[in-house]
Amino acid sequence: MLLVNKMAQKGLPLDIGDAELLTPSVVKKAQDFWASRNEYTITPLHSLTALAKHYGIAGIHVKDEDYRLGLHSFKALGGTYAVFCIIMEEAQNRLGRRIMFDEISHPDVKKIASQIIFTCATDGNHGRSVAAGAQIVGAKSVIFVHEGVSQKRREAIAAYGASIEEVKGTYDDSIVTASRMIKDKGWIMVSDTSWQGYERVPGLIMQGYTTLLTEALLQLEELPSHVFIQAGVGGLASAIAGHLFLLFGEKRPKIVIVEPESAACIYESAKNGCSVKINPGKPTVMAMLECYEPSMIAWRILSRIADGFITISEKEAVDTMRLLAMPRGNDPFIVSGESGGAGLAGLIQICENTSLMSELRIDRGSRILIFNTEGATDSQRYIELVGQRPQDIYLKNENRPDL
């Protein structure tokens, strides 16, 4: 179901603080940081030419975060970057001098990092990013997961040296527990959601996320007319939306937020005109998007900039995973996790309803940007849903001379 955002049509400006958070000169620091790292490579941008032709639009482009820094998720750009920033600040305060990113392996900085424990709550991908960052700098990490986080995703986090703590309940319950522990034990929280009095670290994470948008804009020949972006608490969606607004103003692409039907906290907030916490429903297959309360920063930004909000069903999410694994015509094969293809699922829902297409002004000249936010971060679950192994899908692309 599509909900058009009337506030966005009025062109309300961002809060001053939110604008400063995502202004080009500020986010460039994060982009320069990643460009300086040896492990950093730009992820692919795929063109789904056959699918676009099928729906009678000019183009569908998919930014494929399956290839991001070995973690198979865009989250790698955020949590790790925030950990690095926090370590630098701690080192500067204790050593009394300015610390640069390339000094992260200096013995004095490593000694300080070894005394720090980072923590966060996660559905899987964010915790892996924080744990990876902590391991790189020589710190420790304790990651809180809820009951619904699969064993494979827990193992992927633990592989970076993290201690895993399970919390009964939902992602939101794990946030409460992690927040309590930082008060009791003095750990440092690296949360990708924000609340009253806790905005700076989520802001750093959002700045890290903008790197994938910068890459996409360089890879595209033209500015897209629309961006479909999935949301859990809304960190990525608001980072993309806010940065696009600051870059292009009223000439920005139309932005559509996509959520699971059973965990649509931003959709319900937009419907109510204020941020709301919704009651947990039946667990969604889109595990990385199973969130019941928006990030405070994300809601402020999306309530003013997003042009529309839609929800997708479990079937639509899984069907899109399968479509990307078995594409139309000569379109590339894409490994997309349960939450990865949600943006495309939202676009397909719109394109199969001419009145909704008209409402969002999607027509034969439209060029759509989509983000495949994760690959098969739980390979067994992927096989169960898609019926193919991720490695076999990669091989199909490698064996195609036209790609």
Decide: 45 and 220 in contact? Cβ < 8 Å: yes
Decide: 109 and 84 in contact? Cβ < 8 Å: no
Decide: 375 and 390 in contact? Cβ < 8 Å: yes
Q: What is the 3-state secondary structure (H, E, C) of the chain?
A: CEEECHHHHCCCCCCHHHHHHHCHHHHHHHHHHHHHCCCCCCCCEEECHHHHHHCCCCEEEEEEHHHCCCCCEHHHHCHHHHHHHHHHHHHHHHHCCCCCHHHCCCHHHHHHHCCCEEEEEECCHHHHHHHHHHHHHCCEEEEEEECCCCHHHHHHHHCCCCEEEEECCCHHHHHHHHHHHHHHHCCEECCCCCECCECHHHHHHHHHHHHHHHHHHHHCCCCCCEEEEECCCCHHHHHHHHHHHHHHHHHCCEEEEEEEHHHCHHHHHHHHCCCCCCCCCCCCCCHHHCCCCCCHHHHHHHHHHCCEEEEECHHHHHHHHHHHHCCCCCCCCCCCCCCCCHHHHHHHHHHCCHHHHHHCCCCCCCEEEEEECECCCCHHHHHHHHCCCHHHHHHHHHCCCCC
Taking alpha carbons only, the member of 203, 145, 173 closest to residue 17 is: 203
DSSP lists the bridge partners of residue 256 as 228, 308
Decide: 45 and 36 in contact? Cβ < 8 Å: no
Which residues belong to the active site? 75, 123
Two structure tokens written together for 131: 């744990």
Q: Which residue type does 52 have? A: A
Burial 102-111, CB ≥16 within 10 A → b, else e: ebbeeeebbe
